[in-house]
Structure 1
Amino acid sequence: MEVTVAERGQITLPKAVRDALGLVKGSTLKVELDGSRIVLRKSVDDAISRARGRFKLDGFESTDEALRAIRGRAPGDPLDR
């Protein structure tokens, strides 16, 4: 794929690339130089922030309670007697 650098140094990422990476308006990319190559990396924090708040805790009062139901006693929890 080829893109053209605009007058102000901007490029447009092809739609296929944006869709494949789940990039939307406001997505953060990391820009790195590798010799004469430019490497763009999708920020992991961006993916996490978009997923935050999308999952319901049906039947649980807190995340901790849901995790205990799945994993059992957490370190630091008091022992049941």
Structure 2
Amino acid sequence: MKAIVAERGQVTIPKKIRDRLGITAKTVLEFQENNGKIIVSKSKQEDPITKVIGCLKIEKNTDQIISELRDSE
């Protein structure tokens, strides 16, 4: 498959490839150059929010925390 580089360096990835690889808007891609070839792959970068969900263990619910904060004022 071929694509033309636009004036600003943009290239449209053919729909067949986007669909097959699950590339959608906001998908992060990585570019590498190897012996005159450009290699494009989906980034394995994880959503930063997903990484931290559940990392804090809190024994109290929100109401208890707010109540304690108000009592300490």
TM-score range, shorter chain: 0.5 to 0.7
How many angstroms does 1:16 deviate by? 0.4
Tell me the residue number matched to 1:32.
32
Runs of 4+ deviating beyond 4 Å: none
Structure 2 unpaired stretches of 5+: 55-73
State the TM-score, normalizing by the size of structure 2. Answer: 0.60
Structure 1 unpaired stretches of 5+: 53-61, 63-81
How many angstroms does 1:23 deviate by? 0.6
Alpha-carbon RMSD across the aligned residues, in angstroms, is: 1.6
State the TM-score, normalizing by the size of structure 1. Answer: 0.55
Tell me the residue number matched to 1:70.
none
Between the two structures, name the one with larger relative contact order (CA 8 Å, sep ≥ 6).
Answer: 2
List per-residue Cα deviations over 1:26-63 (Å, max 9, x = no partner).
000000000110000111235xx4xx6xxxxxxxxx8x
| Structure (1 or 2) with the larger CA radius of gyration | 2
Count of residue pairs brought into register by the alignment = 49
